[in-house]
Amino acid sequence: MKLLRHMLTQYNLIEAHTAEEALLLFIDLDCQVDLLIADLTTPKRSGIQVALLLRSKLPSLPVILASRNPVSHWSAQRLADLNRLGSRWVAIVQKPFAADDLLNAVRELTGTAPSPVETRAPPSMLGWP
């Protein structure tokens, strides 16, 4: 999470350490999140599963999924979940990823370029391992 925080210093990053914490934060923030960055492989729930839950409340929520494996190596269940999530407003970055790759995905999905916090409030992003 430290690396993610470092890469996205120009954005307002809201951190969650588990899928459950991410879901609770999303509810506490009254769905006021501009982007979800989630790890594909985490205990209990995958990033796709969390994205599906959040998208049930906010259908246009952009999602970045981070994965060590290319999509071609994903399980049938993960591919089915990805299909349910759809391709609109979704980016997949393969770990380890360069800061530029992540920033480009953020910019593409949010339609923003980084700007100083003093001039404009940055998008709120919910990130978890």
The domain spans of the chain are 2-112+119-128
Residue 13 CA to residue 44 CA, distance in Å, equals 23
Supply the pTM of this predicted model: 0.78
Which residues 6+ apart lie within 8 Å of 23 measured at CB? Answer: 50, 53, 54
User: What is the pLDDT, as a whole number, of residue 15?
Assistant: 81
User: What is the pLDDT, as a whole number, of residue 119?
Assistant: 36
User: What is the pLDDT, as a whole number, of residue 118?
Assistant: 37
Average pLDDT of each block of 10 consecutive residues along the chain (129 residues)? 68 79 84 83 82 88 90 89 86 86 87 51 48
User: What is the pLDDT, as a whole number, of residue 63?
Assistant: 92
Q: What is the chain's Cα-based Rg?
A: 14
Domain 2-112+119-128: give its CATH code.
Answer: 3.40.50.2300
